[in-house]
Structure 1
Amino acid sequence: MIRIASAVALAMASASLAAAPPRPAPADLPAEDAVGALEQVAAFDGPMPTGVAVSETGRIFVNFPRWGDAVDFTVAELVDGRAVAYPDVQRNRAVAGDPAAGFISVQSVVADGRGHLWVLDTAAPGFAAPLPGGAKLVEIDLAGDRVLRTLPFPADVMRPRSYVNDVRFDFRAGEGGVAYVTDSSLSGRGAIIVMDLARGTALRRLDGHRSTSADPGFVPIVEGRRMQARGADGVVHAFTVASDGIALSPDGATLYFSPLSSRHLYAVPTALLRDAAVDEATLAAAVRDLGEKGASDGLEADAGGAVYASDYEHNAIHRRDVDGSWHTIAHDPRMLWPDSLAIGPDGWLYFTANQLHRQPGFQGGSDLRRRPYSLFRVRIDAAPAPTH
């Protein structure tokens, strides 16, 4: 009797399964939605890019740091969609005995809104200690594509593990303007470097402060995996990179910044930051923690006061409005490690996506990056924050 009942139940179950509708193909299963209309501006089949700049006339520049890839030129202009050495091949070569002369390893390029491009050279290929006298800002006149001046960072603001990462300019401050630069030291101890562009002097501010240093409790999850430094030798270290992204409010009064190894956004009054008479304790007390924004590499601000932050854990970019509210403006699985941000005169936000987390140093010596890398843009209908 039990066997008959079991047979009947099995027959009924088989009939039910046979009558069930076919399961959808994997491509038809529910999946996360994309946000924003993403456009690819350029594809790169060679070394990975980090920085991007868009001039007020629409010229686009990118850079390729010397981190291990074969890099023929570390600064380029996009010409008909192709990266061409800028301003020329010779300037993209280090000069023996004169570290200030040629580009050594460029991390960022920034258009200043006045017809000039600024190049931030780390002088630290492969994240080595920066070559003495080689870390510098280089100003290029876009009208003539010629170098106007080179400003090496003074030795007293550099540290053995300094890595100058990103920069914003304000030509309304001081006699000839100031540059605010993040030091992304891989030791986890960061700072903001403030350079007087007229004199070439600089201050090192918020050195080792929690706002400029790696968050000791931070554990990033990228592509569903815990991100750590994993060498081919099997040694594992925490991902500890200090201050990285930086943005300046349209009135120049507030500097926004964030460590790479953190999800918090910080802000500080620039008047205090650049005043050498303000002691570090007073400056530190003026730093505001604006809360979590996601883990960011790049930051940018527009003319209306909104701040944009990439989110490398979620393949996204978020916007913080002046009322403090956050909105996701772009999210797409192709945005693998959105890096630097730049707002063009055309109302688009440009950014590189370079798969930084797939490098051998994070994957046990295996290079999991898949070319091409991309320069994307998303429409924001906003102008860049003014610098003058």
Structure 2
Amino acid sequence: MQNELLLMMPGPVPMPERVRNAMSRQAINHRGKEFGGVYADCVRVLKALFGTENDLFVLSGSGTAGMEAAIANVGLDQTIVSLVNGKFGERLAEISGRYGTSVAIESEWGHPYDLEVLAEALENGAGIVTMVHNETSAGILNPAAEVGRLARKHDALFVMDGITSIGGEHVACDEWGADIAIVGSQKCLAAPAGLSAVSVSERAWERLSEKRPYYLDLKAYRKAGSKDPMETPYTPAVPLFFAFREACLIAEEEGIENRIARHRKLADAVRAAAKEWGLPLLPVSDNLHSPSNTVTAIQYPDGVSDGDLRGSLKKMGIEIAGGQDRLKGKIFRIGTMGATGPSEVLATVAAVQGTLKRLGYSFDGDGVSAATEVLV
């Protein structure tokens, strides 16, 4: 990987060699037994990572395609309540407005949801609730179990964006009552961008919209997926499936609990460094909301610009993320997802620490030592 940029972002992330090599093989018949086996391997591992026994399908389309599939298949002419405390919650609300009546319950980005307002909206007849489990734009982990409980209490469907949590955070879709859940390939699973996976509960099947999209019709995916060998209804991105299968097998070999623990430890190390630098995290925690374990959002100190910090790191071969939209220039984000390990985190922490000092920000602590203490 010499001369390659180290991506320490909340996706895309560095891909293991096995994953990269899987894309270089010859094409195969995507209606044959071999592809069916590839697809079946993906589904088997993903169901464990989702924490579900529901139907699950892999779509040739990014996480946003998965989001749109979720809404478009059940949301036509429905009142859809979207919980928004970051960029991707906002995106779900925007997609919802294309198909039904969108009601956004907004908090400041990185701040907790107001679940009392959600309960009121559900009491007034909303039929669908959407939420982003892990809002990477603000580095906050949102309370899926509590939102699912409220949705089920009022007989509403619960659509959960797990695009950046599944494979890196504890996820229990069936236990939480997530009727439709989504993951993206290039996030915690460390596969190439361009695929998403969607799980669908029996409750969601019972409430399918009569008019559904053509390419993203989940009923068509269910029919094709029930064949032996498994198929997709339309031509899949076969090289990406090869890579995704390898990424899933790597996750299976590591073990789900080990994988979750690794992500948490890496994030703890970044948080420990930020504390030594005297820089607050963006997300506001309470007893239901906590900082993400797949990305850490850190507030900039006065006098340090986004361009200077991230630009300097990129010259050193490390790319971290900045803030999006209204958070642009206010935060920087360090990803700890996918195949990332202690060496990548320590290299990033050291580069950030040195750059902050060079840019004139003074602090007494040693973030590198603090991160090392967490990782050893």
TM-score range, shorter chain: under 0.3
More helix by share: 2
Greater RCO, 1 or 2 (C-alpha within 8 Å, sep 6+): 2
More strand by share: 1
Computing the radius of gyration from Cα coordinates, the structure with the larger value is 1
Question: What TM-score do the two structures reach when normalised by structure 1?
Answer: 0.24
